[in-house]
Structure 1
Amino acid sequence: MSLAQSPGIWGEDPVKLTLALKMTRQDLTRTQMELNNMKANFGDVVPRRDFEMQEKTNKDLQEQLDTLRASYEEVRKEHEILMQLHMSTLKERDQFFSELQEIQRTSTPRPDWTKCKDVVAGGPERWQMLAEGKNSDQLVDVLLEEIGSGLLREKDFFPGLGYGEAIPAFLRFDGLVENKKPSKKDVVNLLKDAWKERLAEEQKETFPDFFFNFLEHRFGPSDAMAWAYTIFENIKIFHSNEVMSQFYAVLMGKRSENVYVTQKETVAQLLKEMTNADSQNEGLLTMEQFNTVLKSTFPLKTEEQIQELMEAGGWHPSSSNADLLNYRSLFMEDEEGQSEPFVQKPWLLR
């Protein structure tokens, strides 16, 4: 139906329609203004859900920022401490370097021990044997022993020390005393015999008196003094020989006789324990058995010390508990009475 055919429209009052149109336009204008105000006032507004999500994200980021600030502050403080340590270390380094230069300027050069091989009796081979495994301090002792033993062999007589109170009783004599010139092996064997008699004694006299009486019984009163001087001069020189150095220390009162006795008893007990553990009597123990015997014999030693004893006996990191050890070889002595390092080790671990 067209407008011309619509009686409802053409039948309206024009004034009324004009007024309605005017009112409608006003409403449109007002609505447009409200719309513009809404756009102006709420154009930047976001939905609540988006706002809450952004607010949560912001809170998380703020917490992370606070954590990072705290971490930064700790790192900054540590950096300051490290810088102070660095500066202190630099000062110490410079000081040590200056001291090193001063030491290098004033210190005695390290000795060239290979020069000794041409002057020591026995030549390079013997010197290599004597010097093996020894530090400079020990090499000095070896060299002094070689020099001392050479001088000792050249002496035919010793001058008597007299009868002063400071002179040991077994050396009190005036005049010349013959140098019997025994070999090192002979001296060691003689000292071992002396220890055997000493341990078998029931009535204990002082060790110096016992020593002289032993020499009188062995060589007779006429030769006892000569042997006393001869033995004394030998054991005074050979510090590296275990038998001689121990006898000298006890004879001069520098070590208690009980120390030697205790050591010998402990070694004997250790060998007995190992023998008991060797059920097949083959002279062999597993490393596990070896460890058990050491712990039972030396209950006061720490795990680290037991480990050192095992290493001295032949254990090494690649060994297993089932590996076998020839324990009897640990208690052998050479012809000069030197025992294996294992036997000496327990008394070095104090």
Structure 2
Amino acid sequence: ARGHWSTWPAFASGQTVLKSHKPCCAPGERMSSNKQALLTIPKPRYLEQLESYLRKELQYLDLTKRNSQELRLQPYREIFEFFIDNFKTYKPLLSAIKNEYEATLAHQKETIHALEPLKAMVATVSEECSQQILALQEKEKVEINMLKQEKQHLLKFIDNMKEEKSSLQTQVEHLQTSVAEEYARYLNEYGARKLLLAKLNDMHNEQLNMKRHQVQDVKGEDVVKLTLALKIARQDLTKAQLKLNAMIADYGDVVPRRDFESLEKKYSDLQQETLRKDFDQLRKEYQTLLEIQRETAEERDNFFTELQQAQRSCTPRPNWAKCSEVIPGGADRWGCLAEGKTSDQLVDVLLEEIGTGLLQEMNVFPGWGKGDKVPIYLRHEGEVKNKKLTKKDVVNILKDIWKEKIALEQQRPVLPEFFLSYLQRKYGDTSAMEWSYTLYENMRLCPSNHVMSSFYDILTGKVGNLFGPWNTCILLMAMREAFPLKRQDSIQELIDASRYKLDCTEELIDYKSLFKEDEEGNPEPFVAKIRSQYIREKQEYLRELRNNLGDLIEVNAEDLKAAFCTIDPDIDDQTLDTYVGLAYQVGREQTDQEVVPVDTALERLLAGDVRRVGPAAREESKTDCVEE
């Protein structure tokens, strides 16, 4: 409630009259009298209301609670706010003072709240430290007790040592006394011995003098002369020894003349005998060489006569090197084509090159007509366009025809009809004859290519169909197709193995019988030969790998891969990883950290399926010369 504002006790000074006012009294007496007068003035009504309100509020509070101080502060805060509201003039200043106090109290509360966990932590740490101190004190007590016991033990040990020292000191003193007595006794004995030795020496000298006088009296020789003679004799002995050493050094390697002459005679006799034997041997060899020379001269004359007769009766051998000037590719390609071929084969090669060259220049082929004698795949009237295919294109087309024909084995189609139907189906009826004539002419002019020559022979009826019994030519073509990396001698071994049951006059081979097994599961010689060749080729392949590795004892994955790529450049990454995995018997990601002995790696590869992927380097150099 708002009360009436008064200036108590200031307003009372103008209304109150002091009863006993003395003008001449001292200032101190006057002040005390003023205080007494003020106490008699009644309080302002608003002040009494505020004090009454404060007393009531304080009575209502429960000061037994934990936050009693904050509860007690609240009535005072309200009284102060009432006071500020009524004090209009100083309200801003008083409000600022109050707010500052409130902010300070809030800050102090926050600080107290922040410090309460620290207080708890300090209490906890203090308790822990107290416990640690107690534990350390207990531990130190134990250690102190142990040290005290050790101290007592050491003190006892020191006492024992002192007693032992005193005992030893007594013994040392006793021994020193004994040693002094013994030393005095030995010293006396030493003096007595010296005196005795002196007496003995004197007696010995006297005896020597007596003997010397006796000798001089008997012989009458002077000792000085004897000493001088002995000295001269020793000098002569030294000179003689020096002379003897010089003689040995100068003539140690000299042979006596008698021995020298005897040895010289033996040497001359032996030399003459050796020379005589050598001369006889050389004479015999010379006579033999003369006979050989005579026979060689006769053979030379005979060969010369035969040569003259052959030159007169035979035509001169052609100079095949001239062909390199007209063959595409020059001397290098002609050298590859002519290597290891006879004159008849060289004629075929030359005709093939000339024919293929002319074939590329032709734009059209003349038609064969539509007669019954004309093959079905060449029945056409008029000119046919030349497709100008390369050997590679022709071989690929023929291989595709073979694959489709093999897929239709049960229907047993005839090759000429199938050949025409394939071309019609793939290139259309209008272009089929163009492809047929082009393929036919290429096959006819290229007998050196086994694919084209074999297809041409079957197409023209020179050999039978591939289905059913095969002849040697068809089997040869099939094996070259199946084993392109085999050498000619290996192919011939397989041909011989396939004909082991045939007579010399039989040509047809039942290819299905080559893969049969007997009752015990043993394969036919053809399959056994393929297996033996596979093992042999694998051993050669690994032997070449071993030679490429050189003198290495252990090999890592990178070196092994490099060796494989060197001996087999056409090997692919997947096959290479497979071979390396076989050698190391680990996964692909673990081979980089592995190192194994070379012999172990080769044994593992020999046990696995390892074979050459591409032709060897020397074989590639030959095949590169044959251009498509």
TM-score by length of 1: 0.51
RMSD, matched Cα: 4.2
Deviation of 1:324 (Å): 6.0
Q: Does 1:204 align with 2:403?
A: no
Q: Does 1:240 align with 2:448?
A: yes
* Partner Cα separation in structure 2 for residue 187 and residue 179 of structure 1: 13
Instruction: Write the mapping of 1:1-350 to structure 2, written as runs, cut at 5 A.
Output: 102-201=309-408, 202-258=410-466, 259=470, 262-263=475-476, 298=497, 323=543, 326-329=611-614
Amino acid at match of 1:194: I
Amino acid at match of 2:455: F
* Partner Cα separation in structure 1 for residue 384 and residue 541 of structure 2: 58
Deviation of 1:204 (Å): 2.0
- Kindly name which structure, 1 or 2, has the bigger radius of gyration based on alpha carbons: 2
Name the CA shift for 1:154/1:300 in 2 (closer, same or farther; >3 Å): closer
* Partner Cα separation in structure 2 for residue 240 and residue 101 of structure 1: 36
Amino acid at match of 2:354: I
Name the CA shift for 1:320/1:216 in 2 (closer, same or farther; >3 Å): closer
The DSSP-based 3-state class of the residue aligned with 1:257 is coil
Name the CA shift for 1:111/1:253 in 2 (closer, same or farther; >3 Å): same
Name the CA shift for 1:188/1:322 in 2 (closer, same or farther; >3 Å): closer
* Partner Cα separation in structure 2 for residue 145 and residue 269 of structure 1: 26
Deviation of 1:133 (Å): 2.1
Name the counterpart of 2:235: none
* Partner Cα separation in structure 1 for residue 481 and residue 335 of structure 2: 33
Name the counterpart of 1:52: none
Amino acid at match of 1:162: G
* Cα deviation 1:172-217 (Å, max 9, x = unaligned): 1110000000111000100000100110013122110011011111
Amino acid at match of 1:229: Y
Deviation of 1:267 (Å): 6.5
Moved more, 256-265 or 227-236: 256-265
Name the CA shift for 1:236/1:140 in 2 (closer, same or farther; >3 Å): same
* Partner Cα separation in structure 1 for residue 401 and residue 354 of structure 2: 27
* Partner Cα separation in structure 1 for residue 541 and residue 438 of structure 2: 50
* Partner Cα separation in structure 1 for residue 393 and residue 541 of structure 2: 42
* Cα deviation 1:37-90 (Å, max 9, x = unaligned): xxxxxxxxxxxxxxxxxxxxxxxxxxxxxxxxxxxxxxxxxxxxxxxxxxxxxx
Gap runs ≥5 in structure 1: 1-93, 275-290, 339-350
Deviation of 1:244 (Å): 0.5
The DSSP-based 3-state class of the residue aligned with 1:173 is coil
* Partner Cα separation in structure 2 for residue 148 and residue 249 of structure 1: 18
The DSSP-based 3-state class of the residue aligned with 1:239 is coil
Name the counterpart of 1:56: none
Q: What is the percentage of aligned positions where both structures have the same residue?
A: 44
Amino acid at match of 2:429: P
Deviation of 1:322 (Å): 8.4
Deviation of 1:128 (Å): 1.5
Name the CA shift for 1:159/1:124 in 2 (closer, same or farther; >3 Å): same
Name the CA shift for 1:137/1:264 in 2 (closer, same or farther; >3 Å): closer
TM-score by length of 2: 0.30
The DSSP-based 3-state class of the residue aligned with 1:158 is strand
Name the CA shift for 1:134/1:213 in 2 (closer, same or farther; >3 Å): same
